[in-house]
Amino acid sequence: MKLCRFQQGQGRPRVGLVLDEQTLLDLSAEGIDRLTSLFEFEGLAAQLGTLAGQNLPRVALADVKLLSPVEQQEVWAVGVTYLRSKKARMEESDFSATAYDKVYDAARPELFFKAMPEKVVGPAEAVGIRADAAWNVPEPELAFVLNSRGHIVGYTIGNDMSSRDIEGENLLYLPQAKIYNRSCALGPFVRVGASEAEARTWKIELHIRRGNEVVFQGETSVGQIKRPFEELVSFLFRSQSFPHGAMLLTGTGIVPPDGFTLRAGDRVRIGISGVGLLENPVAVV
Ligand code: DO4
Ligand code: MG
C-alpha cells in the first residue's frame, strides 16, 4: 500500500491512496485531509485495505502534482550507516577521519537535524547546490516515516544533498554542508505495511543525467544498513518528543567518485524498489 499527498491545479493538498500505476483514491472524501493524522492510526495497513475496497473518488495520477509527504514533521538523518559512507568520509577529510571511523562502530549512531518541513522539496522541484561550495553530491537514502509514538509507519525516498568540500574541511561545518535552501527532497510515496526484513531486500538506485547523458549511476541495497532500524529510531526519540512524528533519513551507501560534482541543470533520479522514484532537477542556491 502506498500513500501520497497531491494537488490538482491550485487546489488544497489532498491525501491519496495509490490504487494502481495510473490511479489514486482521493481519501479526502472520507474526511482524511492529512497524512500526519493517518500515521497515528493503529493497524494503518489494515485500515488502508478497508479504504481501498470502498467506492471512493478516483483521480488519474497523470492529472495531479505529487507533493512531498512532509506536513509538520521535522526531518532528521543518520549518517555513516553504510561502510561505503564511512570510507568516503574518511578519504575526504584529514583530521575528521577518526570521527567517522569511530562512529561507524560506536553504540551511539550519528544523528543530525536536516530540515524544517517548509524547507523540504517534493518531486520535480529543484534540489539545491550551494553557491559557495565546489563539491556537491546527492545522497539517495531510504527515509523512515515515524509517528509521534516512534513507530515506523512507512518508508519514503530521501535525498540528503551535501557539500562534501565544506564537510571535509572541518567536521564542525557539517550543518552548513547539510542544511541550506532546497537541501532535502522527500517523496512522493509512503510505502506502508512493509517489515524491516522486506525493506532490507530493496535496491536503491541513483542516476544523474546531464542533458541526454547519464554522468553517474550507482546502486546499493537497504540490507547494507549496519544498524537495526529500531536502534536508529530509539536514539532519535531519546529525551526528545515529536508531536507530529518525524522523517528519518537512514544514510547513504552510494557515493559518486571524488572527481564528480553536481551542476545546475543536472537531474537526480533515485529509485527504491519497494517505494518508487524521486526525481529532481538541480539548481544553485
Ligand atoms: O557525517 C556525515 C554525514 C553522513 C551522511 O549523511 C550519510 O552517511 O549519509
Ligand atoms: Mg546522508
Look-up: residue for cell 552548513?
176
Sign of CA dihedral 282, 219, 62, 189: negative
Look-up: residue for cell 493538498?
13
The number of residues making up the chain comes to 285
Mutate to test the pocket of ligand 1, among 252, 255, 270 (most ligand atoms within 8 A of CB): 252
Query: With a 6 A CB cut-off, is 158 part of the ligand 1 pocket?
Result: no
CA-CA distance, 268 to 250, in Å (whole number)? Answer: 18
pLDDT in the model for residue 139: 98
pLDDT tens, residue order, the chain (285 aa):
999 999 999 999 999 999 999 999 999 999 999 999 999 999 999 999 999 999 999 999 999 999 999 999 999 999 999 998 888 889 888 778 888 889 999 999 999 999 999 999 999 999 999 999 999 999 999 999 999 999 999 999 999 999 999 999 999 999 999 999 999 999 999 999 999 999 999 999 999 999 999 999 999 999 999 999 999 999 999 999 999 999 999 999 999 999 999 999 999 999 999 999 999 999 999
pLDDT in the model for residue 37: 95
Q: Which atom of ligand 1 is nearest to the CA of 81?
A: 8
The three grid cell numbers given for residue 128, joined into one nine-digit string: 539545491
- Residue nearest atom 1 in ligand 1 by C-alpha distance: 79
Q: Which amino acid is at 133?
A: A
Query: With a 6 A CB cut-off, is 168 part of the ligand 1 pocket?
Result: no
The three grid cell numbers given for residue 281, joined into one nine-digit string: 532537477
Helices (H) and strands (E) in the chain, counts: 8, 20
How many CA atoms lie less than 13 Å away from 49 in the CB half-sphere? 5
Which secondary structure element, helix H or strand E, spans residue 24, and what is its range? strand 23-26
Q: Which atom of ligand 1 is nearest to the CA of 85?
A: 8
> β-strand 120-121 against 58-60: which pairing, if any?
unpaired
